[in-house]
Structure 1
Amino acid sequence: MAKKKESYETMMERLEKIVEVMDSNEITLEGTMVNYEEGVKICNNLYKILNDTEGKIKILTDEGEKDFTPHVE
């Protein structure tokens, strides 16, 4: 069965837990490598989400792409 897509926030929480475990010095070298690999996968997924989100925020104009800036009064 396919794994349900995790939210950005859920992945960030998981990454923070991985960092805490690795910082604790109470993990084996093998455990560190497993956590490192998982952390890299999570970082790649987070990066993709951020890139996709940035693309949705950009507005195409006649001059090309223009960053979206909300109008604040």
Structure 2
Amino acid sequence: MAKKKESYENMMLRLEEIVDTMDGNEITLEQTMTIYEEGTKICNSLYKILNDTEGKIKILTAEGEKDFMAIPEVVK
């Protein structure tokens, strides 16, 4: 299961492992359900990270857009 402070990249790697394991058809139905549940929790965590990051980008863009537009172009 995804830990609270686990990185986005590590969670993506774990999710890929889960998908590969489920694609392999070498596990029981019970094992499949267990890792499916883990994968669902990881997906929810990843979705939250992406939503939070998108919100931060929108805030930074909205705040920084005026400053960026005020900077004159550098002529080479």
Q: TM-score range by the shorter chain?
A: 0.7 to 0.9
Q: What amino acid maps onto 1:48 in structure 2? A: K
**Identity over the aligned pairs, expressed in percent?**
77
Flag structure 2 segments of 5+ consecutive residues without an equivalent. Answer: 66-76
After TM superposition, list the pairs within 5 Å mapping 1:1-73 onto structure 2: 5-59=5-59, 60=62
Cα displacement (A) at 1:4: 5.7
Provide the rounded CA distance (Å) in 2 between the counterparts of 1:24 and 1:4: 28
CA distance in 1: counterparts of 2:52 and 2:19, whole angstroms? 25
In 2: Cα distance, 1:4 partner to 1:43 partner:
13
The structure richer in strand per residue is 1
Higher relative contact order (CA 8 A, sep 6+): 2
CA change 1:14–1:49 in 2 (3 A) is same
**Deviation (angstroms), 1:15:** 0.1
Partner amino acid, structure 2, of 1:43 = C
Equivalent pairs counted in the alignment come to 60
CA distance in 2, matches of 1:12, 1:4: 14
Q: Secondary structure at the match of 1:5?
A: coil
Using the size of structure 1 for normalisation, the TM-score is 0.76
Return structure 1 stretches of 4+ with deviation > 6 angstroms.
none
Task: Please say which structure displays the higher CA radius of gyration.
Answer: 2
Say what the alpha-carbon RMSD is for the aligned residues. 1.7
Structure with bigger helix share is 2
